[in-house]
Amino acid sequence: MKTWAAFKYEIGRIVNDPQLTKFPDDMLACVNDALRMLASAHTGVASVYSIVGDGATASFPIPNNAVSSSDISRIRGVYDETNEVWLKEADMYPGSKAKEGWLVWPDGTLRLKPVPDNGDELTVHYIAYYDEVVDDTSTINIPGWSFEAVKLYTAGRVIQSPTSQLTLLANFRTKVDSGNPEHNPLLQLSKYYIQQFWDILNANYAPQLDKLVV
């Protein structure tokens, strides 16, 4: 765990802004992008919330902080505490009847069949985004191996900003035609940093994909 007050200086040294005077707003926005990308593409926060049946309701809202990704289900599992059994994830095909189990449909809604009886308690396991960084007191609580990845992704996004590029190019006094994407060293450096982010993620096993057990 690190505070933003300390972590931002690590990023500042990568983007040639050790005093954090050039683009602090870009850096704050980009680190939050990096945290969301880490959660949606690899490892988020293992979280739970409870549902109590009333005998009539079949659809329940999914928490707003649940990860939304085309590759990773928002929900990892639903456990029926009353009957002590994991519910099956239901399949949905056009023209088919609804099957028993749980299903995320439409987006943002958890549907259960059969309808939970009155008083039935269910625990929904899901993957959440990390807390947003808002100021120096914010803490970044991510796996230790991922700090380097988040730092590099943030740096890569920061130097993609046109304002940041102009500032840095002025510092390095590169030639005039460096505005051409093929000649702009900062665009290439940005791609390199972001590729390193993906390389680090690919080198680490994603624990959120483990099968959930009691």
8 A C-beta contact, residue 35 and residue 129: yes
Written as one string, the DSSP assignment of 32-79 is: HHHHHHHHHHT--EEEEEEEE--SS--EEEPPTTB---SSS-SEEEEE
Predicted structure pTM score: 0.81
Q: In angstroms, how far apart are the furthest CA atoms of the chain?
A: 72
pLDDT per position as a tens digit, 80-99: 999 999 999 988 777 778 78
Cα distance between residue 182 and residue 188, in whole Å: 8
pLDDT per position as a tens digit, 142-153: 999 999 999 999
Q: Which helix (H) or strand (E) holds 121?
A: strand 121-128
Map out the domains of the chain as residue ranges.
2-42+132-207, 45-128
Average pLDDT of span 57-75: 83
Cα distance between residue 53 and residue 60, in whole Å: 10
Q: How many CB atoms lie within 10 A of CB 26?
A: 19
Look at residue 74 and tell me whether its pLDDT is greater than 90: no
